Amino acid sequence: MQAYGQEKTTKDLMKLAFHYHTPAITKNCKVVLPAYLGLFLDSIAPHFDELLCIMHTPSPSQMEMMDYEIKSENVKLFSLSPHSSIPSRYFNSSPSVKVINEVLTLADVVLIRASTPLLPFFKKHWKKPIALMLVSDATLGLANLPQPGWRKKLIMAWASWYAKKELQLARKSLTIVNSQMLYNELADKVKDLNLIQTTTLSTNDFVVREDSCQNQKIRLIFAGRISRIKGILDIIEAMANLRKEGYDLYFDLVGMVDKSSGILEEMKSLSEKLEIKGLVNYLGYRTAGSQLLDEYRNSDVFVIASQASSEGFPRTLWEAMASSTPIVATAVSSIPSFTKGVAELAEPKNIKDFTDKLRTVLSNGERRKEMIREGRALAKSNTLEVRGKELSDLIKLRYKA
């Protein structure tokens, strides 16, 4: 069974290896992994003879993320060591190198989604063509890590070393980036550089809604990694400000959270301080696809107040657009260039500005309808079917499949 109705049309298709640091398992003879990555792999698998995934086994705490079963029949998993700390993976690299060398004999090209800690080992041991897909900058955002000073310095030193290795590889490989920020950063350094946006949306994932905010109670939704850097506390304060003006708002959040970070306790404490206890709720993890999209469709406004220049472009914005949900976000990284006016954008860390932008969406029906209509149209240009073929064709053209 081929994903997304794609059919192989060429007898001599390429065998593609794939690596990313996200873990995966085999269950009932199927590859199982986080849905956002599984959807991506299912979008490219039909364009290749085989897709050979080189991925870590999950830690016990990551088993909740193993929520998507690959649909394409030509995907095979080659398991690396457990998804442990970077030093552990480096000091015990022999098993990983063995797997890399095994797949090297089977595949024509490897696609490495990066940043990923094992990239230097692929650079050293993979003797066939490499396509590099950059979805993050390993050196950005490290100053915000909740780590002791000495540990943070070690992490930053490793990231600097890693970034040099990554750039060396990018300069001699087909390189794909998924954000305008990364493209601008590398444009003068990498010759074969291409911008291809990533998505979790299929053509069947779009719903038409003319307007939101039609009921007395207004539901704000956030989806993604629950952390301070996403501006969650700023959103709560903006919501409290608008409730004082008479807007009947409540705020639900879905996604992964590092419970040891204390962010859930901070959210609760701030809500009590602002006298909005019970109106801010963490609902847990939602699988990418229909389960997650239902949260957008049952909401009035999607909100994200990211403070990080390393944000890239959150895939959740595409999901909100496809769900006819208007967006209030912060103007960081690639968000301004990709949203093209379909979202209200505030300055990061500026609660007053975020409050003003959210008020605009709540109070201006014409602007809201415009955002919904144009956002949905923009997202339709960025589906799994479109991007999967675009990426696959680029790899095959570059390496003459």
Tens-place pLDDT, residues 138-173? 887 666 666 777 888 888 899 999 999 999 999 999
Degrees, nearest 5: CA angle 51-53-56: 170
Collapsed DSSP state (helix, strand, coil) of residue 57: strand
Look up residue 107 and give its amino acid.
A
Place of tokens 């860390």: 349
Confidence tier at 92 by pLDDT (50, 70, 90): confident
CA dihedral 132, 320, 145, 251 (to 10 degrees): -170
β-pair partners for 130: 110
Residues 329 and 388 in one domain: no
**Between residues 183 and 400, which one has the greater pLDDT?**
183
**pLDDT over threshold 50, residue 82:** yes
Q: Is residue 33 classed as helix, strand or coil in its secondary structure? A: strand
Chain segment 200-230, per-residue pLDDT in tens:
999 999 999 999 999 999 999 999 989 898 9
- Same domain flag for 187 and 265: no
The runs of H, that is alpha helices, within 201-262 are 232-244
Predicted pLDDT of residue 246: 97
Distance CA 53, CA 307 (A): 33
**124 and 60 in one domain?**
yes
C-alpha distance from residue 170 to each of 43, 112, 113, 133, 136 (Å) = 24, 11, 12, 9, 14
pLDDT of 149: 78
151 and 186 assigned to the same domain: yes
Query: What percent of the chain lies above the pLDDT cut of 90?
Result: 75
Read off the pLDDT of residues 360-372 as tens digits, 9 standing for 90 and up.
999 999 999 999 9
pLDDT band (50, 70, 90) for residue 317: very high
For residues 189 and 46, state if they share a domain: yes
Domain count, the chain: 2
The pLDDT value recorded for residue 9 is 46
Q: Where are the alpha helices (DSSP H) in 252-383?
A: 263-273, 290-297, 315-322, 335-339, 351-363, 365-379
Among 224-238, 266-280, 282-296, 310-324, name the one with the lowest average pLDDT.
Answer: 310-324
DSSP state of 128: S
**Single pTM value for the model:** 0.86
* 281 and 348 both lie in a single domain: yes
Does one domain contain both 217 and 110? no
Give bridge partners of residue 134 from the DSSP assignment.
114, 177
Query: Which uninterrupted H or E stretch holds 150?
Result: helix 149-171
274 and 392 both lie in a single domain: no
pLDDT exceeds 90 at position 388: yes
Enumerate residues 6+ apart whose C-beta is below 8 A from 51. 16, 17, 18, 41, 44, 45, 72, 74, 75, 76
* Class of residue 398 by CB neighbours under 10 A (exposed 0-12, middle 13-18, buried 19+): middle
Residue 10 pLDDT more than 50?
no
Same domain? 81 vs 179: yes
Q: What is the pLDDT of residue 85?
A: 87
SS3 177: strand
Q: What's the whole-number average pLDDT of the chain?
A: 91
- Cα-Cα end-to-end distance for the chain: 23
Here the tokens at position 49 are 């003879």
CA distance 210 to 368: 9
User: Is the same domain home to 192 and 233?
Assistant: no
Q: What is the mean pLDDT of residues 274-297?
A: 94
| Residues 187 and 282 occupy one common structural domain | no
Task: Provide the residue range defining the domain that includes 358.
Answer: 203-379
The predicted-structure confidence for 37-50, as pLDDT tens digits, reads as follows 999 999 999 999 99
* One domain, residues 181 and 225: no
Task: Tell me 14's DSSP state.
Answer: P
For residue 253, what is the domain's CATH number?
3.40.50.2000
